[in-house]
Amino acid sequence: MKIGIISDTHVTNSAACTIPDWINKAFAGVGLIVHAGDVEHPEYLEALKSIAPVYAVRGNCDHKSFSTPESLSLEIGCGLLTAAHRAAVARQALTPQSRVMVYGHTHISLIHDEGGLLVINPGSPTHPRGGLPASVAVLEVNGNELYAELKVQP
C-alpha cells in the first residue's frame, strides 16, 4: 500500500485549488492521502480526492468549522499511522500500535526512525522553510516493512 502525505498547503482561494502536476506525479498509485493540516481552503481537499481518498487533521490556520479532527490514527496493515498538525499533539495521540507518526506545522521536511517509530514531516508544497524545496512524502507499506521518501518539486 502506498500513502501520499502532504501538509501546510495554505491554499486560501478556490482559484489555487488545482493540484500541481508534480504532486499528481508524486502521488500516482497511492491508495490514500493524509493531509497533516493547514489546508485553509476546503476545496483543496476535494481536489486531492480526485487522486485518492483523503484523511485530514485540522491545523492552526484551518477554520474551526473544518470537520477534521485534531489527530487521527489509521490502520496500515502493520500497525497504526498516527497524524496531527503539531508534533506534540501527534506524540500524545500515539498508541503502542503506532508505527508511523505524521505531523506538519514546521514546513520543514524530515523522515527519521525513532526506535521503530517512523516519523514523517512532509514539509510544505507551497511555503517550504529552512532553505528546503517544496515537498510531499510517500509512504510505502509492504507487510511489516515501511519505506518513506520525500518527493520534491522539480
Catalogue all structural domains in the chain, each as residue range(s) with its CATH number: 2-152 (3.60.21.10)
In the predicted structure, residue 15 carries a pLDDT above the cut 80: no
Encode 52-80: b = buried (16+ Cβ within 10 Å), e = exposed.
Answer: bebbbbbbeebeeebebeebbbeebebbb
Which residue is associated with the grid cell 507487510? 143
In the predicted structure, residue 65 carries a pLDDT above the cut 80: no
Tell me the pLDDT tens digit for each residue of 86-142: 999 999 999 999 999 999 999 999 999 999 999 999 999 999 999 999 999 999 999
More confident residue, 26 or 41: 26
What is the rounded distance in angstroms from the CA atom of residue 27 to the CA atom of residue 20?
Answer: 11
> Grid coordinates in use for 55?
484523511
> Mean pLDDT across the stretch 32-48?
95
Quick one: pLDDT at residue 124?
A: 98
Mean pLDDT, the chain, rounded, equals 96
